[in-house]
């Protein structure tokens, strides 16, 4: 463990990753608790997978541009593509779930697969050196840059501020959408807001854990936390703490043992969840 602590002090990359992990723990804990409470884990998973389409497109078009004009498009990063795709799939999934309640699961499954398929094709046809699909699906901290950390910080702050401002309305819409509507709260708008916050959070975590592992990480800490409290804000704080432990622990272990970070983060999350299941059963 001393190696890791030393690396935090000396290697900027490790510092960036550690910092990004801590910031995204805040958003994951808060948004994950809402997702688990509202029971839309599978919608979060669909959003997470569909952003691969945006990642693929951004890589493809930036490579094409680079080839054509000889310069790089600085803003066209995978994170930007992921964000755009995330927002598109939020719009689509939100509309589908509100409009076609009875076919919801089918259509969401289709969006999920469509996002992944287009992403894979874009990456396949991207000119230049082959892109490692693995790093997007399972995360690759080596790709983290200083600008990523800044973007994470800004977007994380946006998510937390929005939840802070609209906390009661978000909770009301999750609990009883119809009653909220009768009190003049636009239930649809807040449902979209919740999906949007989910998408942003997932995108922020992709570097660290990848899209597949990120969707597990948004659920597990909140699910663990909800076994220990019946107050949503307490659940949020516990979930934040658990996610921080997972992120930091995962990073430390992977650095020490020289193994991929994402899987370790998720393994810690699963371990904590399993232990808590056991502890709770023993008590009752």
Partner 1 sequence: MLEDVNFTIQRGDSLCVIGPNGGGKSTLVKLILGLIDPTRGSLTILGQSPQKAQRKMGYVPQAMRFDAQFPISALDIVLMGRLDRLTVGPFSRKCREAALAALEEVGMVDLAKRPFSDLSGGERQRVMIARALACEPELLILDEPTANIDLSIEAHLIETLVKLREKLTILMVTHDLDLVSSIGNSVLCVNHRVHRHSLPISGETIKEIYSSRRRIDHDRRSRHIEGDHSACDHD
Q: What gap in Å lies between CA 197 and CA 230, rounded to an integer?
A: 23
CB 136 within 8 A of CB 52: yes
Of 76-84, 145-153, 200-208, 222-230, the window that binds partner 1 (rule: CB under 8 A) is: 222-230
**Whole-number Å distance between alpha carbons of 278 and 282:** 6
Binding-residue pattern over the window 74 to 93 for partner 1, x denoting contact by CB under 8 A: --------------------
Candidates 230, 281, 282, 283; binder of partner 1 (CB under 8 A) is: 230
Residues contacting residue 278 through CB under 8 Å, at least 6 positions apart: none
In the bound state with partner 1, the residue whose beta carbon lies nearer, of 129 and 230, is 230
Which of 13-21, 121-129, 230-238, 267-275 is the region at the interface with partner 1 (rule: CB under 8 A)?
230-238
The upper half-sphere exposure of residue 178, i.e. CA atoms within 13 Å in the direction of its Cβ, equals 0
Nearer to partner 1, 217 or 225 (CB): 225
Task: State the minimum distance, in angstroms, from the CB of residue 119 to partner 1.
Answer: 34
Counts for the chain of helices (H) and strands (E), in that order:
11, 0
Least separation, in Å, of the C-beta of 257 and partner 1?
37
The nearest distance, CB 217 to partner 1, in angstroms, is 20
d(CA 247, CA 230): 25
Least CB distance to partner 1 at residue 232 (A): 5
Burial of 110 per CB tally in 10 Å (0-12, 13-18, 19+): middle
Radius of gyration of the chain (CA): 19
- Positions 17 through 76 that interact with partner 1 (CB under 8 A): 37, 39
**Smallest distance, Å, CB 138 to partner 1?**
32
Spell out, one character per residue from 148 to 187, where the chain touches partner 1: x when CB under 8 A holds, - when not. Answer: ----------------xxxxxx-xx-xxx-xxxxxxxx--
Rounded CA gap, 60 and 52, in Å?
12
User: Judged by CB, which is closer to partner 1: 145, or 229?
Assistant: 229
Among 115, 122, 263, smallest CA distance to 199 is for 115
Comparing CB distances to partner 1, the nearer of 134 and 176 is: 176
Measured from the CB atom, is 50 or 226 closer to partner 1? 226
Q: Give the nearest distance from C-beta 42 to partner 1 in angstroms.
A: 16
Q: Of 276, 142, 267, which Cα lies nearest the Cα of 213?
A: 267
Using CB under 8 A as the binding rule, whether residue 283 contacts partner 1 is answered as no
From residue 182, alpha-carbon distances to 94, 188, 207, 273 in Å are 21, 13, 41, 38
- Would you mind telling me the total number of residues written for the chain in this entry? 284
In the bound complex, what is the minimum distance in angstroms from residue 179's beta carbon to partner 1? Answer: 6
Residue numbers at the binding site for partner 1 (CB under 8 A): 37, 39, 164-169, 171-172, 174-176, 178-185, 226, 229-232, 235
């Amino acid at each position: 463990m001393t190696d890791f602590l030393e690396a935090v002090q000396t290697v900027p990359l490790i510092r960036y990753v550690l910092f990004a992990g801590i910031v995204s723990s805040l958003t994951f804990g808060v948004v994950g608790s809402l997702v688990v409470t509202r029971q839309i884990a599978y919608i979060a998973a669909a959003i997470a997978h569909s952003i691969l389409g945006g990642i693929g497109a951004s890589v493809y078009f930036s490579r094409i541009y680079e080839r054509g004009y000889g310069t790089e498009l600085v803003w066209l990063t995978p994170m930007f593509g992921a964000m755009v795709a995330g927002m598109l799939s939020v719009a689509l999934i939100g509309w589908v779930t509100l409009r076609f309640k009875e076919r919801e699961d089918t259509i969401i499954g289709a969006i999920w697969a469509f996002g992944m398929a287009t992403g894979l094709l874009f990456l396949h046809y991207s000119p230049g050196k082959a892109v490692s699909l693995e790093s997007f699906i399972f995360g690759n901290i080596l790709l983290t840059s200083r600008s990523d950390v800044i973007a994470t910080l800004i977007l994380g702050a946006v998510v937390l501020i929005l939840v802070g401002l609209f906390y009661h309305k978000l909770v009301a819409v999750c609990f009883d959408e119809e009653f909220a509507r009768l009190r003049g709260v636009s239930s649809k708008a807040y449902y979209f807001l919740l999906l949007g916050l989910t998408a942003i959070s997932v995108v922020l975590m992709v570097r660290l854990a990848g899209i597949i592992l990120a969707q597990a990480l948004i659920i597990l800490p909140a699910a663990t936390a909800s076994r220990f409290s019946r107050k949503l804000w307490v659940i949020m704080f516990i979930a934040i703490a658990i996610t921080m432990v997972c992120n930091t622990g995962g990073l430390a272990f992977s650095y020490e043992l020289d193994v991929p970070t994402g899987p370790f983060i998720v393994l810690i999350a699963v371990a904590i969840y399993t232990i808590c299941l056991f502890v709770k059963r023993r008590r009752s």
